[in-house]
Amino acid sequence: MISLQRRIRHFFRARDLVIFIGLAVMTLVCILPIIWAVSTSFKGKDELYKAVPTLLPRHPNLESFRNVLATTGMQRMPLNLLNSLKITVFAVALQVTLASMAGYAAARLNFRGRDVIFYTFIFLMFIPRAGGLMASYELMNFLHLRNKLIGLALAYPSAMSVAIFIMRQTYLSIPMELEEAAIIDGANTWQRFRHIGIPMGMAGMTVVGLFAFIYCWGEFLFALTMIDEERLLPAAVAVTMMAPAWTASISGAFHPYGAQTACQVLTMAPVVVIFILMQRWFVRGLTEGILKL
């Protein structure tokens, strides 16, 4: 009996070790490109084009960042970052607001067709947005929203299937007894949503906001299609549009490989900072019933 228990313990320890090693390898594979990009952005010319490159820079410097800001065309990089910030902040605020109200209605209100509407949104999760790109182009052009930041800010929150699903699961995890007590006290639907739904659904809203921020900040195809003017391009599109110019302008003072990685670091830095600051709320949201079906 004792021998059997020892074998079982050894089996679970070996299993846990294998899982740990597998997760460590997956983490390394995912994080290595980011480390490489950050490291490359701080390398000088000699280190960039070494026959045997090193993972970490031996002599870190800001040469690539200075070249980016001094290059014709990339002098608009601060403006492109500001465009992305304006679009993202407005789109995130709008999506969190609408998804929280729609999720509350799907979880707490009883009306005809509720489940049909909700499962229709779930079905839309599996339809790629690129499939309706031409229709979206015609609609944006008809509404005179092309080549306008407000057009992107209004279009991005329209993909709310995942956000509504998350908020519905969040509200379903809140005890119904709280709202029943509020109903006895005479609270109407809006009062229950304001005083119970919003405070207790804050973790779910944080998850929705983070997902929306990552999507809006890095979205490429829709913005490239809807924006023609360079001064209105978000950062993700502007960096890609300048890549051919970097390749064509190889000189002793400018290194396109270092400049491209420097722009990528500048573009992804806000997402990393926001995620680090909101990590506690993100984990809390994932553990408070959001993923429970």
Q: Please, what is the end-to-end C-alpha distance for the chain in angstroms?
A: 40
pLDDT for the residue 88:
94
Report the top-level CATH class of 67-290: mainly alpha
Burial of residue 172 (CB within 10 Å: 0-12, 13-18, 19+) is middle
Residues 6+ apart with CB under 8 A from 118: 106, 164, 168
Rg (CA), the chain: 24
> Between 63 and 155, whose confidence is greater?
155
- Evaluate if residue 203 carries a pLDDT over 70: yes
Answer yes or no: is pLDDT of 13 > 80. Answer: no
Total-model pTM: 0.81
Q: What is the DSSP string of 4-57?
A: HHHHHHHHHHHHHHHHHHHHHHHHHHHHHHHHHHHHHHT--HHHHT-SS--SS-
User: What confidence tens digit (pLDDT) does each residue in 134-187 have?
Assistant: 888 999 999 999 999 999 999 999 888 888 988 888 888 888 888 888 888 888
Q: Is the pLDDT of residue 98 over 90?
A: yes
